Amino acid sequence: MSNYPGYRGESLTFLKKHNVVVGDSVKVSSDSGYMGILMPRYEYSDDNHIVLKLENGYNIGLKIENIKKIEGITSNSMKEEKEITKPQINSNLPRILLISTGGTIASKIDYRTGGVKPMLTADELNTAVPELIKIANIETEVLFSEPSEDLLPEHWNKIAKKLDSYATSDYKGIIIAHGTDTMHYTTAALSFALSGFPIPIVLVGSQRSSDRPSSDAALNLIAAARFIVECAERGIYIVMHNNTSDDDVACHLGTRVRKNHTSKRDAFQTIGGPPAFLVKNETIMRNFTGAYFKTKEYTPRINWETRVALIKYYPGLDPKIIDYFLESGYRAIIFEGTGLGHVGKVMYEHVGKAKKKGLFLGMTSQCIDGAVRMTVYESGRDLLNLGVVPLSNMISETALVKAMWALANTKNIDEMEKLMKQNIASEYSD
Amino acid sequence: MSNYPGYRGESLTFLKKHNVVVGDSVKVSSDSGYMGILMPRYEYSDDNHIVLKLENGYNIGLKIENIKKIEGITSNSMKEEKEITKPQINSNLPRILLISTGGTIASKIDYRTGGVKPMLTADELNTAVPELIKIANIETEVLFSEPSEDLLPEHWNKIAKKLDSYATSDYKGIIIAHGTDTMHYTTAALSFALSGFPIPIVLVGSQRSSDRPSSDAALNLIAAARFIVECAERGIYIVMHNNTSDDDVACHLGTRVRKNHTSKRDAFQTIGGPPAFLVKNETIMRNFTGAYFKTKEYTPRINWETRVALIKYYPGLDPKIIDYFLESGYRAIIFEGTGLGHVGKVMYEHVGKAKKKGLFLGMTSQCIDGAVRMTVYESGRDLLNLGVVPLSNMISETALVKAMWALANTKNIDEMEKLMKQNIASEYSD
């Protein structure tokens, strides 16, 4: 591995000249003084910045031409590396598979050293989060390594196919390390594609750069493993901090959850109720009493069709956007309407046109919480008359992903409408 | 006024035949039995339903062909009407202007009779909410009568011009009765257009059909009047229930508020902190310590330009949507990115193209809470390099409305960017 991953041109020359390498603790004088660890860079990076991870856990990009001085404090090679120990297999404990797809959690998992390793091996994990070995035998696999904002339906496909290949394994459950930005889109996608999957699938991320012992990465991983071993409830979940406390981790239903804060460790929230489960140290507390999948049989249908438009309605929206979607061959529209599920009368003509062309038209609310109820006001009833289908309290992100999936797995609009209304993976809550 | 407002064709014939008129309490046998008040209908209604307001306050549409029996219980004319009393002017109390624009609150303001009157006169108001007369001399004016999902920037224009005409009046403040669906878009619009307006402007709505004494309409109106009289703090606010309690009403900053629930009385929430003020019975509690408008001078700029696109990013979004906006002459894009302000790499080429064409590109987060921070991850820095402007913690709805306003009030993209970054009406919070 290069000492300068991601650096090129000007920045590479600069680092070589000053004799510092990625992983070093450095002191930089620029517009202000900074102390931090020199971080690697990624594809698409420019070549006139270096990136430091500061003590507060955040990364900062510093423009080379503004740097007055840079000096290494602790060199990478000098740093005391924690010894990597081969985990002992404990045959009394269940097996858990940990699949890594990228994101902060996967790249920073050896969080106590400050170094950056994008790969996650069982040995490294064991060294970084020694508590895990007491809970289960963790085996790891790297599927790909992408920040979650770059994931596409084809990545959902890869993940789902990989999971499907373990449907008859004897793992107690599967943990997926995943970036947080689009984690809830992925859980929704997997929930429909892998309906009835026989063992729990738990997505785990981290909200903070994790080079400190208090990082949420380790705690979320430990809670995920504990949930799988103790509870073993089938379903697709997101396990992340429940609040600022380090011994209260929430387990959210994967179709009822949103990332509701840009940076907090407890960014993920279940919409319309408490989290399904709480992992408080070694205790699992249950709030959710139903079954995640509404049919028991495992019926994989791994397919998405992206010609689904998402229209968030607002005053001033030009209804001609619908013409664009019609001309571009879109097959469905999910509205994020206002209030109980409305769009302005200005949209009616175009909504009617889309219906006539055979599109599926579904209504959710941009309020996020609460259900769409289109019989209360005249506007709602008008839209019902135009053929818009109310999607109750399904959240819009889940509805969008479900529409992509339903479109790919049905032959016509009537079948699609039926599938959209059916409660498959707790996307409709009581 | 007709006895059958909004009814025509089949439904009109049906009602006449059964000798019931709008406002009557009726008993209906259909798929189930219903008791309620026969409600008027609106434009665009079909002619094969009648609408009842049920005891629980909700309206229901019943298909005529399914109705087995309908009978009047109390006729409209027999009902004891509350006597409308001309309010006495109390010269010791301040004057408040109440402007009605429509919505549930305006159409149901005589909430104790169950009747529906779309107009709001001082006399009717006084009769319906007698507590108001002890707080202020309320004068009323009907500007228009529209459900808020039908409001457009031209309605913002009408409201703003009307308010501007009272900028030098001796009203203590102005209350605007408004539908709740897009109320927060209107407060954002007014906040920029009427920056520095000399007296408080308070928007009030109601979440529940208000034919019961516990309706939020009256309580919100009383709290709004109290806030104006006791506090008189300049700004544009939304005053609505703070929780399920009837003596805890929240006063939200108009640029920092969202409708976050489809039906609850406390649907509106301040994003990123507590409500600015609480009205608890006769006490005003202050959480907000700054000034709403960041400059004191009143500078009306009443203008919006709607060629602003809102793009919520999600996995599978086709980047070609940007080409459509470019070809259609759009001048700005507000992104609702993921997490700290990201879109997938798949968008980069098109984002760059939009920048080259001179569009303003602003980034907000679909997380809603928390700030955009585009220096933390490589994706954010890539987008900064492409010319995307991070809009910190401004919520996306406010950013969209502000962009429409900034576009209409600046000559070029540099001026627009400057205006978008400037904190004008507390749209950026600390």
Mean pLDDT calculated for residue range A184-204:
98
What is the percent of chain B with per-residue pLDDT over 90, rounded to a whole number?
68
Across the interface, whether the CB atoms of B346 and A261 are under 8 A apart is answered: no
Q: Which chain B residues touch A381 with a CB distance below 8 Å?
A: 45-46, 49, 61
**What is the tally of helices (H) and strands (E) in chain B?**
11, 19
B373/A324 CB distance under 8 A: no
Report the largest interatomic distance among the alpha carbons of chain B, rounded to a whole angstrom: 72
Would you say B57 and B209 are in contact if contact means Cβ atoms under 8 Å apart? yes
Rounded to whole angstroms, the Cα distance separating B236 from B218 reads: 20
**Greatest alpha-carbon span in chain A:** 72
Q: Do A150 and B345 touch (CB under 8 A)?
A: yes
Domain covering A95-286 in this structure, CATH number: 3.40.50.1170
Instruction: Name the residue in chain A with its Cα closest to that of B103.
Output: A377
Instruction: Find the range with the poorest average confidence among A356-370, B192-206, B366-380.
Output: B366-380
Residue A399 CA to residue B1 CA, distance in Å, equals 44
- Which of A22, A181, A260, A394 to substitute to test the interface with B, most B CBs within 10 Å? A181
Identify the pLDDT of residue A127.
73
Nearest CA in chain B to A340: B262
Q: Kindly tell me if the per-residue pLDDT of A23 is higher than 90.
A: no
End-to-end CA distance of chain A: 52
Q: Of these residues, A101, A140, A180, A187, which one is catalytic?
A: A180
Q: What is the model's pLDDT at position B244?
A: 81
Assigned CATH topology for domain B9-74:
SH3 type barrels. (2.30.30)
Query: pLDDT value at position B407?
Result: 98
Residues 6+ apart with CB under 8 A from A180: A103, A104, A148, A205, A206, A207, A240, A259, A267, A268, B339
Contacts of A376 in chain B (CB under 8 A): 58-59, 209
Question: Mutation test of the interface with chain A: which of B60, B149, B310, B313, choosing the one with the most A Cβ atoms within 10 A?
Answer: B149
How many Cβ contacts (< 8 angstroms) between chains A and B?
Answer: 206
State whether residue B285 is helix, strand or coil.
strand
Q: Give the mean pLDDT of chain A.
A: 89
Domain ranges of chain A: 9-74, 95-286, 308-421
- CB-based contact A348:A386 (threshold 8 Å): yes
Residue A272, amino acid: G
- Find the mean pLDDT for residues B347-373: 98
Indicate if A104 belongs to the active site: yes
- What angle do helix axes A378-385 and A348-356 make, rounded to 10 degrees? 30
Contacts of B402 in chain A (CB under 8 A): none
What pLDDT was estimated at residue B309? 98
For chain A, count helices (H), then strands (E): 11, 19
Q: Measured between alpha carbons, how far is B295 from B195 in angstroms, rounded to an integer?
A: 8
Grouping H, G, I as helix, E, B as strand and the rest as coil, residue B335 is: strand
Check for a shared fold between A9-74 and A95-286. Answer: no
Contact check, Cβ <8 Å, B149/A60: no
Minimum-distance CB partner of A376 among B59, B337, B338: B59
pLDDT at B370 > cutoff 90? yes
Q: Is the pLDDT of residue B366 over 80?
A: yes
What residue in A sits closest to B150 (Cα-Cα)?
A: A344
What is the ipTM score, two decimals? Answer: 0.85
* Beta carbons of B367 and A262 less than 8 Å apart: yes
Structure tokens at A217: 């990465």
Task: Choose which CATH entry (3.90.1150.10, 3.40.50.40, 1.10.3720.10, 3.30.2320.50) describes domain A308-421.
Answer: 3.40.50.40
- Among residues A429, A426, A366, A348, the alpha carbon closest in space to that of A392 is found at A429
Indicate the pTM of the whole model: 0.85
- Which DSSP string do the residues of B67-112 spell out, in sequence order? --EEEEEE-TTTS-PPPP-PPPP-TTSPEEEEEE--SHHHHT-STT
Predicted local confidence at residue A83, as pLDDT: 61
CA-derived radius of gyration, chain A? 24
Chain A nearest-CA distance from B86, in A, is 32
pLDDT per residue as tens digits for the range B136-195: 999 989 899 899 999 999 999 999 999 999 999 999 999 999 999 999 999 999 999 999
Q: How far is CA B322 from CA A53, B72, B313, B350, B395, in A?
A: 34, 57, 12, 6, 22
Residue B281 has pLDDT above 70, yes or no: yes
Residues of chain B with C-beta less than 8 angstroms from the C-beta of A42: 378
Query: Each residue of B387-400: pLDDT tens digit?
Result: 999 999 999 999 99
- How far away is chain B from the Cα of A87, in angstroms, using its nearest Cα? 32
> How far is Cα A384 from Cα A387, in angstroms, rounded to an integer?
5
pLDDT band at B85 (very low <50, low <70, confident <90, very high): low
For residues A145-164, average pLDDT: 96
A180 is catalytic: yes
Rounded to whole angstroms, how far apart are CA atoms B178 and B102? 5
Per-residue pLDDT tens digits for B136-152: 999 989 899 899 999 99
Give the residue-averaged pLDDT of B394-407. 98
- Whole-angstrom Cα distance, residue A238 to residue A250? 8
Distance CA B328, CA B354 (A): 12
- As given in the structure block, the two tokens for residue A33 are 């003084």
What percent of chain B stands above pLDDT 70?
90
Interacting residues of A17 by C-beta distance below 8 A, sequence separation 6+: none
pLDDT of residue A114: 39
The full length of chain A comes to 430
Region A193-212 average pLDDT: 85
Write down the mean pLDDT value for chain B: 89
**Is the Cβ pair B370, A261 closer than 8 Å?**
yes
On the CB side of B38, how many CA atoms lie within 13 Å of its CA?
30
Determine the pLDDT at residue B109: 42
